[in-house]
Amino acid sequence: MKRIGMVWAPLALLAQPYPAVAQEAPEDLASVSPVRTDYVPAKTEWGDPDLRGTWPIEHVNEARIPIEREEEFGTRAWLTPEEYAERLKKAQDSDGGFSADLRNNGTSGLADWIERTEIGHRNSMIIDPPDGRRPALLPDARTRHESGRASWVEGQPIDWVTDLDIWDRCVSPGFPAAMFSFPYENGIRVFQSPGYVVIDRAMLGARIIPLGKEGHWPAAVRGWMGSSLGHWEGNTLVVETTNIVPGDSATYDVAKRAASPTYDVDQAIPVGPDAKAVERLTMLDPDRLIYEITYSDPDVFSAPWTARLDWVRDENYQFFEFACHEGNSQVRHMINSSRAQRKLDAAAATGVEQATP
Which of 59, 188, 57 has the alpha carbon at shortest distance from 114?
A: 59
Top-confidence residue, 113 or 207? 207
Contact 138, 302 (CB under 8 A): yes
What are the tens digits of pLDDT across the range 5-38?
333 344 444 444 444 455 677 888 999 999 999 9
Mean pLDDT (the chain, rounded): 86
Residues 223-240: what's their mean pLDDT?
97
The pTM of the full predicted model, rounded to 2 decimals, is 0.86
Give the pLDDT confidence score for residue 291 in this predicted structure.
Answer: 98
What are the tens digits of pLDDT across the range 309-330?
999 999 988 888 887 766 768 8
How far apart are the C-alpha atoms of 74 and 238, rounded to whole Å? 30
Residues 265-292: what's their mean pLDDT?
93
- Whether residue 161 is predicted with pLDDT greater than 90 in this model: the reply is no
Give one word for 337, left, alpha or beta, with left for phi > 0 and alpha for psi -120 to 50.
alpha
